[in-house]
Structure 1
Amino acid sequence: GRTNGWVRHRQDPDPWLQVDFRRLRPVLAIETSGNKKQAGSFTRTYGISYSQDGSQWTVVMHNGVRKVFGGNFDHKTPVRHYFNPWILTRFLRFHPIKYNGVGCLRWELYTCNNQ
């Protein structure tokens, strides 16, 4: 695949990026980094939501409010967050909140086979 990553559209007031695992998968962690070709552009903070059916979504919460994950502080250093407990889901959405530059993202999701 391409390694350039995702770049938000400037006119989109509520962008999100979604993955469909095609079946239920345990998601253990997420790792983000900026776009190597867009120096100075990365996602500073973000939220996560997930769904088992693509219709009803659950927002990852912390102390009764949407958890805001600390993202990146530059375009090249990866930042990893572990889900405790891990998330069993088919769909996962990344909701960028604050950006640096144009708002770029490369992400890696850590899962395991649950067959």
Structure 2
Amino acid sequence: MSGFIIASIDVEDRELFDRYVDMVENTIRNDGFKVDALFDDHPYLFDGKLPSKRIVLMKFESVDQAKKFYYSEGYQDAVAVRHASSTTHFSLLIDGELQRWGGQSDAPENAGASKAA
């Protein structure tokens, strides 16, 4: 199962926060983590109340890899910079896999169709 870190952050000091981002990228690169990341400073809200302006989603190969990243020395150094440059409303870990809903498939168009004898 993949591990997803989701965070809700309000950036207050952009220059210092950019330093945090550099530290995160260096930790990922230097420690050999494989991460897909997405962040948006202007998310579109469908419903409810948006806790912050920045939403971050990071996908790791596993929950263990996400925890290893989060508790790594490099990231913990970066966390101190994040706290000094922003307000974190939440940072959480989800265990799971992305699922495709709605009839789309990666399978070839006629895969599984029986052949006429």
Structure number with the higher helix fraction is: 2
Structure (1 or 2) with the larger CA radius of gyration:
2
Structure number with the higher strand fraction is: 1
